[in-house]
Structure 1
Amino acid sequence: MSAAPILQLRDVTRSVRLPNDSILDILTGIDLDVYPREHVGIVGRSGTGKSTLLNILGLLDRPTSGGMWFAGTEVSRISQRRAAAIRGQDVGFVFQQFNLLPGRTALENVEAPLLYGSPREFWQRRRLATEALERLGLGHRLRQLPIALSGGEQQRVAIARAIVRKPRVLLADEPTGALDVDTGRAVMRLLEEITTEGDCSLITITHDPNIAAMASRRFQLKDGRLHLLEAATAAEVATHLGGGAA
């Protein structure tokens, strides 16, 4: 690829100290380049470190060792405050459980990230949030509370909230786990459309081989490392997971 990667990880490790004072190695050597307009799928069984890797990719946590660069900036060399600023502006999160504010309308949920944005984003938050929801086909549901929305609509509100600040990286953590198959596929098509229309990169972390198979590059997280999967079909990806188990 000719473009420079938006994310680079080199020999990234993550370890934690357990209550008995022993060390648990979660990630033992992650190497990854992610490019603009690319969809990377990462699969793995429960307990393999997918959430840990997601937190590092989203600048919520830092590696124990190794190097990580976001748009050419070495993350280990910047302050936590600067990392939070990059995360707020350039990283969008889409979670399985939506995490919508139950007492706020769809519009107010999407406005929330803009309350901490630039002065322009703050003062134009209603227009920007409305445009994001309209793009996802929810222009007629702006005033609805989450309880009045279907699961697919709630997920689209969550996506609108993730993209409203035009992030450079979208991190989708089991984005279809709470949805039926057809709605899940529609959600993934929306995420891929958003990725290809701009300079955004999409990283999907999942245990679902059907979702992983949609990515342009697929990796299995196993034994603390990423292993490239050349497989093109969901059945082949599932084989690497021992039948696609979570």
Structure 2
Amino acid sequence: MREELLRLEGVARTVELPDGQDLHILTSVDLEVRRGDHIGIIGRSGTGKSTLLNLLGLLDRPTGGSLHWAGKDLSAIGNRAAARIRGRDIGFVFQQFNLLPGRTAIENVMAPLLYATGREFWQRRRIASEMLDQVGLGDRLDAMPHHMSGGEQQRIAIARALVRRPSVVLADEPTGALDVETGELVMNLLDKATYDSGAALITITHDPSVAAMARRHYRLAEGELHVLDEVTA
């Protein structure tokens, strides 16, 4: 059986509104993530997709239930410990690319390696160059992102997310800023790159066609994840 990376059991997230009322964003989320998985989570705006992403990425903590990483309960993990796991084991791909302005493609991909140690730090340019080559941008190392297409910018973001060989990659509406054809090409690339590296890919989206490219499908609704046999609009 493939290694378990992440497990959510009855995870809830409640916030208090200014008027003192509780807003129950997530009520009981169960999810198991294993190495090599590609999970598609679809949900309408306002269903808690961003909240779930923040919990999966250890950017926030659940107010109920338990969240396990490699078998260890991290529901009450401290900020420093969460940051260490996030920097080493979790990669993020966002809709708006979030590239560093005024930095070349290779400088953007090298950025996470500035926090590495040993070989990763000292050989960061070579490692970043190899990752850009893997996503088809080996000839654009010194290009400025604003001179590149949206699809090329998203490929830089993918290379940056994968450069530290994370165990889990979280993709938040990764094709939202791209046309349909480019979005499909980017998703195929992201799926292959994560699978080849042995990482799990979790795609959170409102787009049924993007969610359908995953191998396991869920719908987020009423604070819970519901298993889907197939994704429809």
Question: Would you call these one fold, judging by a TM-score over 0.5?
Answer: yes
1:18 aligns with 2:13: no
Question: Separation in 1 of the partners of 2:222 and 2:134?
Answer: 40
Q: Secondary structure of 1:102's partner?
A: coil
2:207 corresponds to 1:223: no
Supply the AA of the counterpart residue of 1:136.
V
Partner of 2:142: 143
Residue type at the aligned position of 1:38: D
Aligned residues: 233
Contact preservation (8 Å) 1:229, 1:237: no
Equivalent residue for 2:232, pick from 212, 228, 237: 237
Note the 1:77-226 alignment, pairs <5 A. 77-226=76-225
- Report if aligned partners of 2:15, 2:22 keep a CA contact under 8 Å in 1: yes
Aligned twin of 1:242: none
1:166-196 Cα shifts (integer Å, max 9, x gaps): 0000000000010111111111111111222
Match of 1:68?
Answer: 67
* Equivalent residues of 1:8, 1:33 under 8 A apart: yes
| Counterpart-to-counterpart distance in 1, 2:49 and 2:218 | 11
The runs of 5 or more residues in structure 2 that have no matched partner are: none
RMSD of equivalent CA atoms: 1.0
CA distance in 1 between partners of 2:140 and 2:170 (Å):
25
2:191 partner SS:
helix
CA distance in 1, matches of 2:179, 2:57: 27
- Structure 1 residue 102, shift from structure 2 partner: 1.4
Equivalent position SS for 2:84 = helix
Give the C-alpha shift of residue 12 in structure 1.
0.2
Q: Tell me if the contact between 1:38 and 1:195 (Cα under 8 Å) persists in the aligned partners.
A: no
8 A contact 2:10–2:66 mirrored in 1: yes
Runs of 4+ in 1 over 2 A off after TM superposition: 76-79
Check the 8 A contact 2:61/2:76 in 1, yes or no. Answer: no
The residue type equivalent to 2:81 in the other structure is: R
Give a deviation string over 1:59-95, Cα, whole Å, max 9, x none. 1111011101111221125332111100001000000
TM-score by length of 1: 0.92
Distance 1:154 1:4 in 2: 32
Residue type at the aligned position of 2:117: S
For structure 1, the 5+ residue unaligned runs are: 239-246
**What letter is aligned with 2:143?**
Q
Amino acid at match of 1:210: S
CA contact (8 A) 1:91 1:168 kept: yes
- Per the TM alignment, residue 22 of structure 1 is displaced from its structure 2 partner at its CA by 0.8
- Counterpart AA for 1:101: L
Amino acid at match of 1:203: I
Aligned partners of 1:212 and 1:237 also within 8 Å: no
Q: Sequence identity of aligned pairs in percent? A: 61
State the shift of 1:55 in Å. Answer: 0.4
Cα shift at 1:237? 1.7
